[in-house]
């Protein structure tokens, strides 16, 4: 079954923290919590999800202490080599003119959910 929207391949980009065990971690791997004495270890995953195929097609893993969703999204979009038109759907935190311009230069489209003011 083809799940395209008027011929567009639909990719969603989003990120999430993935918890890790805290044993054998250096201080740069530990993230402060709201408590002064409790730390946690995590990595941050940014991924591209193919909405039509219902599967992840690529991901970028970063240390949670140095996560940068804009640069991760740029790397993910640069690795998409689709010959057909693609629309990237992202949350408001991914709004970045550099990313949007890169997607435009690739000949693809983007939709970013913005916060209502």
List the chain domain ranges: 9-15+47-112
CA distances from 87 to 55, 106, 108 (A): 16, 11, 6
**pLDDT per residue of the chain (117 residues) written in tens, 0 to 9:** 556 667 789 999 999 988 877 666 666 667 767 777 767 778 889 999 999 889 999 999 988 778 888 999 999 999 998 777 899 999 988 888 999 999 999 999 999 988 776
Task: Look at the pTM and tell me if it is higher than 0.85.
Answer: no
- The tokens of 39 are what? 């730390």
Nearest to 52 by CA among 85, 77, 91, 76: 85
| Angle subtended at Cα 74 by Cα 11 and Cα 97, rounded to the nearest 5 degrees | 100
């Amino acid at each position: 079954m083809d799940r395209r929207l008027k011929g567009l391949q639909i990719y969603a980009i989003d990120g999430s923290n993935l918890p890790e065990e805290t044993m054998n971690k250096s201080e740069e791997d530990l993230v402060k919590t709201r408590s002064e004495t409790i730390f946690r270890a995590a990595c941050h995953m940014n991924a591209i999800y193919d909405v039509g195929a219902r599967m992840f097609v690529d991901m970028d893993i970063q240390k949670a202490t140095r996560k940068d969703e804009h640069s991760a999204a740029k790397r993910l979009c640069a690795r998409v080599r689709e010959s057909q038109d693609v629309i990237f759907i992202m949350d408001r935190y991914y709004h970045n003119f550099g990313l949007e311009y890169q997607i435009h230069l690739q000949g693809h489209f983007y939709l970013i959910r913005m916060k209502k003011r």
